Amino acid sequence: MHMHKFEKAWLTFGIGSLLVFLTVLGVSAFYLGNQPPSCLATIDPEKVDTTAPFNEPGLKKVEGKDWDYELVYVASAFSYSPAEVEVPYGAKVKIIATTKDVVHGFEVAGSNINMMLEPGYISEHVTTFDKTGEYLIVCNEYCGVGHHMMSSKIKVVE
Amino acid sequence: MAKTELSRKTKTEIEDSSSLKGTLASVFLLGFFLIITWVGVYSLFISRF
Amino acid sequence: MFNPSAKLKVDRRDGKLAMAHFFVAFTALAIGGLAGLLQTLVRSGKFELPAGIGYYQILTVHGVVLGLVLTTFFIMGFQIAATSKTSGTLTNKQRIAGWTGFWLMTAGTVLAAVMILLNEATVLYTFYAPLQAHALYYIGLTLVIVGSWIDGAAIIMKYAEWRRKNPGQPSPLLTFMSLVNTMMWIVATIGVASTVLFQLLPWSLGFVETVNIGVSRTLFWYFGHPLVYFWLLPAYMAWYVVIPKVIGGKIFSDSLARMSFILFLLFSIPVGFHHQLMEPGIDPAWKFLQVILTFLVVIPSLMTAFSLFATFESFGRSKGATGLFGWVKKLPWGDARFTVPFIGMVAFIPAGAGGIVNASHQMNQVVHNTIWVTGHFHLTVATSVVLTFFGVSYWLIPHLTGRILTKAMNKLGIIQAVIWAIGMTFMSGAMHAAGLLGAPRRSSYSEYGGAAQAAEWIPYQVAQAIGGTILFIGIILMLYIFINLAFFAPKGEQEFPVGEAADEAEKAPMVFENWKLWLGITVVLILFAYTIPFIDLIQNAPPGAKGYKLW
């Protein structure tokens, strides 16, 4: 099987570029810790309201952890609890969320916070809120007739 | 003298008619487009919290 | 390549079988296209659906009839015609398999459609549990899948017969490619068939109360990514084999074409996690492994790009073109059979670039489930693939109905594709831009309580409606051309173009026909990529989820 020398050059360049992409992603994910949300913890979806930390949704200051705050969300058709929250500028926050019924999305528009909420699973994401402003949280996975009404708000304030 | 020139000319024509330099240029333009798109979205990823 | 069994014309009986598929496919185009138009209008905020019809019901129609019905029926019809043309007329037994598959798929489609219209299955075409549709919806989709297996069996039987009759010979290229796509489809659909038959169906019938969400989603996406390659490969068949003949050139390399198809078979399936990058319950190391495998499936597309440019350049230079890009001018721009798929090829450049972004592990956070993704697959399947299918229809339908593509229809075909390109530039472009700003996909019009960010998305939604309207004009034109070619065009002989390889002396290596080897590697790769995370999902499963009907 014969391959033209230009095709060899092209494939070398193309595969080389893909390798560079993968290396950048791999270093960022495994060395700098920028993994996509992949929490392995589970929960009984029928008992969300009585299971900590979901029995008290909202922002809480924590001590002795890698992050300063924990921000807990409970999603259900077609709302998030809490519906609005204020986060201090520059705070390092662990967002912890789950759903009581069907699959929902949890996307903070204009940020990298974007995760699936699935019944029985807990989703987590750690980030530092280093820009002030008002951010809209939207459900980005179809969950029923009120899907497009499902939202919440994060205000990052000085 | 004339003969060599003639044969050289023929040779150039043959080379030209089977050349794939346009293909090489096209795929590299395509490759650069892929890289620009990827780097663009990656910088968006880096700039957001 | 000399091919004794190739006939000039597809046999009338096989032609009827293929045409039956195309009638369903183009009916689906009409219904799904109308649904798409309505969606873009609703999302512009300037229009409301009448008679209490729900946005998500229309969206379910759009996804099912275009994503599943149009594509599957067109592909099956095209592959049957291509196999019959290059490997000889189907035997009666093979044709009966084809018809059985066709009627099962059609029955399943009707069943699913009725349940959607009754608002019993507003779960979109991805039917993510624990949203629970009526059991008949799941049964309908199962019939479509099982029907496609029986339909595909006709191609497998014909291939086996050809190999028996031509020992030691590489199979005709179009038959080989149809076979690869059929086998990839069968291996992939085992995933979706498993979740529907063993999880969703018993659950919707009330035999079991709960369902394992992680397992169901993983089985779905095991199928979901090869599904998009199942759409793409028939377009590649046309690009590799048909287009060279249409322009009057040669296939750049028969062997490299086969090699790229084998690579698609190997690497299309063990990559489903790149659709689940944002999901809990899956270890990120396994996600990254499948990201690497996803990047490997880019390679055959890089090869395809080179082959196509090389075919075009070689042809142009053989016609006396000079300079770096002089060959571009020599291409037959006035021929719809070339120009329409060519626009599809061009669309695959931004489509592919976006696809690499989507698959890039944590970068998926920027775009996941935003309308960027919708913009992406409207370039891949709804432009590259669909325009190629239209370009194929312009010669295949008259070939099968004993008619010709007239000059007027040829011109209309080019106008159709230009309209499509303009409409899609508006729609898909606006979708990509709004998606980067965070606008979610699969959502009806919403101002999100007057949020400033949501207000920024609305101008893009208006642009999507403009694009959607232009695209709908394109759909009407296409349906007009289809009806003309099927019923009204003048009688005559329309060629079925099958290209010949430039390197005719070079026989394709027989190793490409070694299915024990390729299917073996396919299975090994799937087991490698899926076994451990799949066992994890079962062993560490949370309590199951009950069904909900929230529409």
Determine whether the interchain pair A13/B28 forms a contact, defined as Cβ–Cβ distance below 8 Å. yes
Domain chopping of chain A, boundaries: 1-35, 45-157
For A104, phi then psi, to 5°, come to: -125, 165
> What is the pLDDT confidence band of residue B16, given thresholds at 50, 70 and 90?
low
Catalytic residues of C: 225, 229, 376-378, 441-442
Give the mutation candidate from B9, B17, B18, B32 for the C interface (greatest C CB count, under 10 A). Answer: B17
- Model pLDDT, residue C51: 81
* B:C CB pairs within 8 Å: 67
Of the candidates C302, C323, C366, which has its C-beta nearest B45's C-beta?
Answer: C366
Of the candidates B27, B42, B49, which has its C-beta nearest A111's C-beta?
Answer: B49
Calculate the alpha carbon distances from C183 to C166, C305, C369 in Å: 21, 24, 30
Residue C551 lies in a domain: no
pLDDT of A60-109, one tens digit each?
999 999 999 999 999 999 999 999 999 999 999 999 999 999 999 999 99
* A:C CB pairs within 8 Å: 231
- Model pLDDT, residue A2: 80
- Model pLDDT, residue A57: 96
Give the mutation candidate from A2, A5, A17, A87 for the B interface (greatest B CB count, under 10 A). Answer: A17
Determine whether the interchain pair A14/B31 forms a contact, defined as Cβ–Cβ distance below 8 Å. yes
Residue of B nearest to C302 (CA): B27
* DSSP percent split of chain A into helix, strand, coil, nearest 5: 25, 35, 40
For C489, phi then psi, to 5°, come to: -65, 155
What residues does A107 pair with on adjacent strands? A114, A138
Report helix angle C452-483 to C386-401, nearest 10.
10
Report the complex ipTM.
0.97
Contact present, C309 and B31 (Cβ < 8 Å)? no
Q: Does A132 touch chain B (CB under 8 A)?
A: no
Contact present, A49 and A57 (Cβ < 8 Å)? no
Number of Cβ within 10 Å of residue C406's Cβ equals 16
For C544, phi then psi, to 5°, come to: -65, 170
Q: Does A89 touch chain B (CB under 8 A)?
A: no
Nearest CA distance, A26 vs chain C (angstrom): 8
**Predicted model pTM:** 0.95
Residue C72 lies in a domain: yes
Of the candidates B20, B24, B49, which has its C-beta nearest A128's C-beta?
Answer: B49
Record the tokens describing residue C25, joined without a space. 């496919």
Distance CA C248, CA C241 (A): 12
Cis peptide preceding C130, ω within 30 of 0 = yes
Residue of B nearest to C435 (CA): B41
Q: Does B39 touch chain C (CB under 8 A)?
A: no
DSSP designation for A121: B
Distance CA C195, CA C198 (A): 6
Of the candidates C305, C316, C328, which has its C-beta nearest B27's C-beta?
Answer: C305
Distance CA C19, CA C12 (A): 10
Task: Give all chains having 3 or more CB-to-CB distances under 8 Å with chain B.
Answer: A, C
Burial of A132 (0-12, 13-18, 19+ CB in 10 A): middle
Domain that holds residue C14: 4-546
Q: Does A129 touch chain B (CB under 8 A)?
A: yes
Burial C148-176 (b: 16+ CB within 10 A, else e): bbbbbbbbbbbbebbbeeeeebbbbbbbb
Q: Does B21 touch chain A (CB under 8 A)?
A: yes
Kindly report the CATH number assigned to the domain that includes residue C342.
1.20.210.10
pLDDT of A21-50, one tens digit each?
999 999 999 999 999 999 999 999 999 999
Number of Cβ within 10 Å of residue C190's Cβ equals 16
- Total tally of structural domains belonging to chain C: 1
- Model pLDDT, residue A143: 96
Distance CA C335, CA C243 (A): 11
Determine whether the interchain pair A6/B23 forms a contact, defined as Cβ–Cβ distance below 8 Å. yes
Helix (H) or strand (E) holding C149: helix C135-165
**Listed residue (C150, C116, C152) closest to C134, CA to CA:** C116
Residue of C nearest to B44 (CA): C366
Strand, coil or helix: A58: strand
- Percentage of chain A lying above the pLDDT 70 cut: 100
| Mean pLDDT per 10-residue interval, chain C, length 551 residues | 59 97 98 96 91 92 96 98 96 97 98 95 95 97 96 97 95 97 97 96 96 97 96 97 96 93 96 96 96 95 95 94 94 97 97 97 97 97 98 98 97 98 98 97 95 96 97 98 97 95 81 96 96 95 96 92
Strand, coil or helix: B49: coil
A111: chain B residues, CB-CB within 8 Å? 48-49
Contact present, C427 and C376 (Cβ < 8 Å)? no
Of the candidates A10, A113, A131, which has its C-beta nearest B24's C-beta?
Answer: A10
Determine whether the interchain pair C317/B19 forms a contact, defined as Cβ–Cβ distance below 8 Å. yes
Q: Per DSSP, which regions of C168-223 are E strands?
A: 210-211
A39: chain C residues, CB-CB within 8 Å? 280-281
Determine whether the interchain pair C217/A118 forms a contact, defined as Cβ–Cβ distance below 8 Å. yes
Nearest CA distance, A89 vs chain C (angstrom): 19
Strands A58-61 and A69-76: antiparallel
Residue of A nearest to B39 (CA): A21
Determine whether the interchain pair C369/A113 forms a contact, defined as Cβ–Cβ distance below 8 Å. no
DSSP secondary structure string for all residues of C254-298: HHHHHHHHHHHHHHSSTTGGGGSTT-TTS-HHHHHHHHHHHHHTH
Nearest CA distance, C56 vs chain A (angstrom): 7
Task: Give all chains having 3 or more CB-to-CB distances under 8 Å with chain A.
Answer: B, C
Determine whether the interchain pair A110/B24 forms a contact, defined as Cβ–Cβ distance below 8 Å. no
The architecture CATH gives domain A45-157: Sandwich (2.60)
* A:B CB pairs within 8 Å: 31
